Structure 1
């Protein structure tokens, strides 16, 4: 591991700075959530919240004189490239969620007014989902091909954990089968509440895909319900808020990198 990334190298005092200790604690929490076998919208949402908190803490760590003395220009350039890559992932996710929300709004409008071409809108939604899945699969292949660099201490590990979180998010959003379990979106991202992810294994995207596909094949026997659509809409809303908050924290982190190291 490159010593240039380590916030507790030989040039640091023997006792680490409290901010460095706080970052270490956040990394431990993220590693723990990454190793959990359960994947649900609330688990992914909580990881987004934790990542936002982590980058807020890293931004503060960057402003410490001891950090500026330890990280060299080559390391900073690598971090800047990594932050730009993660911002691209945020934009990809925001676009996908926006597209999904727009389709859901049209379908809800028809269900609410009980008039309009519901079958056509459902087919449009399913076509949009197929397109998004292909896009996510391309991104996932790219992640597998390019995230093999060694996990550098603190800043490098934060980037690796962020990429892992986006891999989980892209996989979740492109899931085509419905896992067993009752749907439950326990936490609202904006409240930053710590919640357990146990027994929350349903996938709101695949559940609605299944309902829409069933309706498209035989709409007379499988009527659509407003609550089915609202469940995914709520999930999309919460994930969108989480991504937006993470994006803002990443921007602050990137600006601090640029300012602190004179780029």
Structure 2
């Protein structure tokens, strides 16, 4: 896919941007990672890192004079609307992770002091996890003209990434619930455990609080911190990107 910007006059041919190949490569990498299902936080973090790089590249592109000349006010406002939607997703994810981390700190405190209502805190944490599915509604990316196709594709991979992120945090659809059948049939349970990510693996331990160890909670807290860092980096890139758009206006 060639990334191009059309000048306002349709009589002027489209101009190939010098960073087009690099942006195409980044988009291809993100689309490929979408297709590969992975249940590790490291894979989600890598996708967040790739997304940050992509928005940094787009920011450089729109700050160049040739790009400024090719964007109308309506187009810029459309891009600003899209970027605001992405920032909302970042804030929603950060709030959810912060709530989970707060609950985990309470659980760690009870484990450390060896007193307190562990069952109540575990239930609060699981309720927070369950509410994630309700709080996230997958957005539809806007329709962009051919001249802005790269921005439309970037928005599409961003929405897909956050969809994966919220599914990851709330648990897999197949193994998110401990039904009576899966408790009885050990084969189903083994399958779920094999497919579990860092969140759902700790969830299994929570079902039997006697097996819960401080290391389990600390591991999950570290995973949450990594995701928070990744989302914060994307947020900062998005803010820079928005400032560049506003500067054109």
TM-score range normalised by the length of the shorter chain: 0.7 to 0.9
The 3 A distance-change label for structure 1 pair 173 and 242 is: same
Stretch of structure 1 that moved more, 32-41 or 158-167: 32-41
Contact 1:12 1:66 in 2 (8 A): no
Q: What is the match of residue 89 of structure 2? A: 89
Unaligned runs of 5+ in 1: 182-200
Please say if 1:102 is aligned against 2:106: no
Residue 37 of structure 1 aligns to a residue whose secondary structure is coil
Q: What is the match of residue 210 of structure 1? A: 204
Over the residues paired in the alignment, what is the CA RMSD in angstroms? 2.5
Q: How many residues are matched?
A: 226
Q: What is the match of residue 153 of structure 2? A: 157
Unaligned runs of 5+ in 2: 177-191
Stretch of structure 1 that moved more, 201-210 or 38-47: 201-210
The 3 A distance-change label for structure 1 pair 203 and 250 is: same
Structure 1 outlier segments of 4+, above 4 Å: none
Q: 1:234 aligns with which of 213, 222, 226?
A: 222
Q: What is the match of residue 223 of structure 1? A: 211
Contact 2:86 2:158 in 1 (8 A): yes
How do 1:51-66 residues align onto structure 2 when only pairs under 5 Å count? 51-66=51-66
How do 1:59-138 residues align onto structure 2 when only pairs under 5 Å count? 59-136=59-136
Contact 1:7 1:67 in 2 (8 A): yes
Contact 1:7 1:154 in 2 (8 A): no
Structure with greater helix percent: 2
Partners of 2:122 and 2:67 lie apart in 1 by 53
The 3 A distance-change label for structure 1 pair 7 and 31 is: farther
Deviation, 1:101, is 0.3
The 3 A distance-change label for structure 1 pair 22 and 232 is: same
Please say if 1:258 is aligned against 2:243: no
Deviation, 1:12, is 4.4
Give TM-score, length-normalised by structure 2: 0.82
Give TM-score, length-normalised by structure 1: 0.78
Deviation, 1:180, is 4.2
Contact 2:4 2:14 in 1 (8 A): no
Partners of 1:166 and 1:227 lie apart in 2 by 28
Contact 1:11 1:70 in 2 (8 A): no
Partners of 1:12 and 1:127 lie apart in 2 by 52
Partners of 1:180 and 1:239 lie apart in 2 by 22
